[in-house]
Structure 1
Amino acid sequence: MLFSFTATPDFDFMTYFARHIQATVQHGLLVIPDSLGQGYIRKVTFGQDFKITIHRYVLKEDFVLKRTASGQGNDLITLFFYSNEQALEIAYNDDPQVLFSQRDESAIQVTSNDLSSTIRFPAHQQIHYVVVAITPARLTELLAVSEPNSVLQTITGSGNSFLFFERMEAQTKLLLKNLAAVDMTDRLSQFYMQIKVQELLYLVFHKLSLRENTAHQTINSADVERLLHIRNEVIRDLSVPPVIRDLAQVAAMSETKLKQLFKQTFGATIYNYYQQARMEEAAFLLKQGKHAVGEVGYELGFSNLSHFSRVFEKHYGLNPKRYSYS
């Protein structure tokens, strides 16, 4: 199933999607027809400038969501929270889609409204994601930051093009789960939802406020597509460190531009991003209890196990052996 839409400032996803699948929206709830699958989409609004949409369903066929920028301005900030168990395919231009790995460090996206995107949701799998849309003015009012860093200035400014990825911590996952479970028949549910959505925004923007205060580089859909491809190249084989020169050639960017845009978008240098992913993979393998410390270290490209232990302890506060028993 393909659903294409143009992201105009006044576009309402629920209304148009309901027409597309010949369903009705009642009290902000769209129930997926049995012919298509099962589940629902729920929208809760906190005014014309602030709303949340919760997607939870299983569909009988692949669902392709194609969003095209309207060219009418981008005075809207959109936050996507992907809590799917499986990987998704996502693209930001018309090139073939790349696999969007559902690693926790990239499960939250904060984007301006002027980037086109295509997301493919696989059939017969649980789809769980949340979208929060808010205007810069409303967000500025909520954040009430007297001296915002360059990231917050870019997001709350007018007419800026941006895309930032952030980690999804356990606290955020739990909050998303609780939001989906709210009983909307309760008289104070709207009040409760607004408090919890603001808490969700706090968790994201608190982390973004800690990023390095550097000048923002303008980004477009083609840049984002290249960055996603480079990100996947970086984590494709965690036993091999990334080579900036080679990655720059793949991205068709200068090394300087690639390093700047990658750090701006993902919040870490290419090498630090790689190292973090490598340590997370090591932690996962150690917790499984099926691999010895030496096996994990060698599998991830460490020829010196003492070096592996030092790097791992720097990330997790415990050496690999102690971590595996914790």
Structure 2
Amino acid sequence: MILNLTTIHELFDQFTRMVEGHVQQTNWEQRLTIPSHIGKGYVTRTRIRPGMEIMITDITFKEDMKLQLQESCQLFELSYCVSGEMNHEWNGKRSLTDSKTGNVTFLEDVRVYEEKKAGIRNQLLEIRFTPDELLYYAGDLTEKQKMETWLRHYRGNIDRYPDTPAIQRCISDMIHCTHLGSMKRLYMESKALEFIALFGESDEYGSVGGSMTLRHDDIAKLQQTRELVQHHYEKPLSIRELAKRVGMNEYKLKKGFRELFGMTIFELVRQKKMEKALLYIEAAQLNIGEIAASVGYSNASNFTTAFRKQYGCNPSEYVKQINQLVVERNRLLNGLN
């Protein structure tokens, strides 16, 4: 099922139509009850104002829920998974979200493949807003430019952010809010802004543009991380697993890796997969779909996008170049004979 989202507010509405659920509605809040054949649970959407909303999901699906989300609008999202398991795939990248995981997302004109596992209670809180909603709080031009730099750091990605006790308390307060009516709306808005501020604090917003000081043992751990990534690129280890294996917190691992090696862990995984794909193209008689599957891409278009980013052309164009070189080489050999 494909959901085409031209504004941040369309996700709830289109999902409601897709599952044909029952909605209870006030002027600014809607609660969708999931039909029994889909599963058990609900989704609540609180519209704070145009360009900003909060969604709280608590659903146990009977079957895996697979969606394709075409984000045709600018979306900046902070989410927190209390429980559950979700997989995302976009532009040749992958992300696994499980319990006690927070993600920051900044996408525009991107198709995201999302899968939520059946039989597991999926509890998720999402604060969805446009970048302009954040830039509204910039006090002057300098602060606005700083915020824009901060946003660009996440463009095109779904990244994990550092989890803190303060963020966990804020999430719990929002999920278990007991206020009603206008007081609930005010409370949820204040908590959403608190969440954004706590995220900025944990993400070291005040040091945007600065570099991280890496000690000798940090560098050794990051080099160990690169070796693990290169060894396991066909079945990539999660950031959480990598951090656990090398003994480094997830935030420092991600930021330190980017600073030391000039690329993210996801970009290194993609690079290794594309190197293998190149070998398949040059040495094996496989079609593009087979090559995509052989390097771990369930979707050929995502593979094509990743290949083009790595080599500057589509796989089919590269195959034509290879075939042309073979023809020219044979012609030259025949001429010599």
- Tell me, yes or no, whether TM beats 0.5: yes
Corresponding residue for residue 167 of structure 2: 172
Partner of 2:5: 7
Query: 55, 58, 72: which one pairs with 1:56?
Result: 58
Secondary structure of 1:201 counterpart: helix
Q: Greater Rg, structure 1 or structure 2?
A: 2
Give how far 1:76 is off.
Answer: 3.1
- Which of 187, 191, 194 is the equivalent residue of 2:186? 191
TM-score (norm 2): 0.57
- Counterpart mapping for 1:117-266 below 5 A: 117-142=112-137, 144=139, 147-148=142-143, 152-155=147-150, 161-183=156-178, 185-208=180-203, 209-213=205-209, 232=238, 235=241, 239=245, 259-262=261-264
Counterparts of 2:95 and 2:113, CA distance in 1: 12
- Aligned CA distance change for structure 1 residues 89 and 136 (closer, same or farther; 3 Å): closer
Give the superposition deviation at 1:200: 0.8
The CA RMSD over aligned residues, in Å, is 3.9
Q: Indicate the SS of the match to 1:261.
A: coil
Which residue number corresponds to residue 77 of structure 2?
Answer: 78
CA distance in 2, matches of 1:63, 1:258: 38
Change (3 A) 1:121 1:137: same
Give the superposition deviation at 1:164.
Answer: 3.9
Is residue 40 of structure 1 aligned with residue 42 of structure 2?
yes
- Structure 1 or 2: more strand by fraction: 2
Segments of 5+ residues of structure 1 without an aligned counterpart are: 216-225, 243-254, 266-326
Shift of 1:152: 3.0
Check whether the contact 1:182–1:189 (CA below 8 A) recurs between aligned residues: yes
Counterparts in 2 of 1:211 and 1:83: CA distance versus 1, 3 Å: farther
Q: Does structure 1 residue 67 correspond to structure 2 residue 69?
A: yes
Counterpart in 2 of 1:92?
A: 90
Q: Which has the higher contact order (CA 8 A, sep 6+)?
A: 1
Residue 116 in structure 1 maps to residue 111 in structure 2: yes
8 Å contact from structure 1 (residues 111, 164) kept in 2: no
| Deviation of 1:121 (Å) | 1.2
For 2:102, the equivalent position in structure 1 comes to 107
- For normalisation by structure 1, the TM-score amounts to 0.59
Question: In structure 2, the residue corresponding to 1:16 is in which secondary structure?
Answer: helix
Whether contact under 8 Å (1:83, 1:173) holds in the other structure is no
**Identity %, equivalent residues:** 15
- Distance in 1, Cα, partners of 2:78 & 2:262: 22
Q: Equivalent residue for 2:251?
A: none
Take 2:141 and 2:192, find their aligned partners in 1: how far apart are those partners?
22
| 1:20 Cα deviation after fit | 0.9
Distance 2:23 2:132 in 1: 29
Please give the secondary structure, in 2, of the residue aligned with 1:142: coil
CA shift for structure 1 position 24: 3.0
* CA apart distance, 1:169: 1.7
> How far is 1:150 from its partner?
7.7
In structure 2, relative to structure 1, the CA distance for the partners of 1:161 and 1:228 (3 Å cut) is farther
For residues 264 and 149 of structure 1, the distance between their equivalents in structure 2, rounded to whole angstroms, comes to 29
Change (3 A) 1:100 1:156: closer
Does the Cα contact within 8 Å between 1:81 and 1:108 map onto a contact in 2?
Answer: yes
Q: Give, in whole Å, the separation in 2 of the partners of 1:90 and 1:229.
A: 15
Q: How many residues matched?
A: 233
Q: Could you give the per-residue CA deviations for residues 183-225 of structure 1, whole angstroms, max 9, x where no partner exists?
A: 363441111111111111111122330455169xxxxxxxxxx
Give the 3 Å change call, closer, same or farther, for CA 167–47 of structure 1 in structure 2: same
User: Runs of 5+ in structure 2 lacking a partner?
Assistant: 212-231, 249-256, 268-337
